[in-house]
């Protein structure tokens, strides 16, 4: 099977799904899932999933970044780590 034969791909993490494919097939999947789980919150074009921000550009390309995730990280500051030489074991 070549990529041209594919019409739907899904990636799942906990309660998040990323779905890509032929729009009619995406819609069929969403309708089937909604029958079981209720209304699905669909985000197209601009969303964050598992710390990765997805942004669809006007030309159809997709840009990924983790700027928000990285800015929320807090450094580990502990005397055992900051007062030793870099080559020492932690």
Residues 6 or more apart from 25 whose CB is under 8 A from it? Answer: 7, 8
pLDDT digits (tens, 9 = 90+) for 63-85: 999 999 999 998 888 887 778 88
Neighbours of 66 (CB within 10 A): 14
3-state secondary structure of 39: coil
- Whether the CA torsion 64, 46, 58, 12 is positive or negative: it is positive
Q: What is the pLDDT of residues 15-67, one digit of tens each?
A: 888 898 898 999 999 999 999 999 988 888 899 888 899 999 999 899 999 99
What are the sequence ranges of the domains in the chain? Answer: 1-40, 43-90
């Amino acid at each position: 099977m070549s990529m041209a034969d594919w019409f739907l791909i899904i990636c799942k993490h906990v309660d998040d799904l990323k779905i890509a494919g032929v729009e009619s097939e995406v819609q069929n999947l969403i309708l089937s899932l909604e029958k079981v789980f209720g209304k699905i919150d669909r985000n197209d074009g601009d969303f964050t999933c598992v710390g990765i921000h997805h942004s669809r550009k006007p030309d159809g390309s997709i840009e990924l970044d983790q700027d928000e995730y990285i800015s929320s990280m807090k450094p580990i500051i502990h005397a055992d780590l900051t007062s030793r030489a870099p080559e020492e074991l932690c």
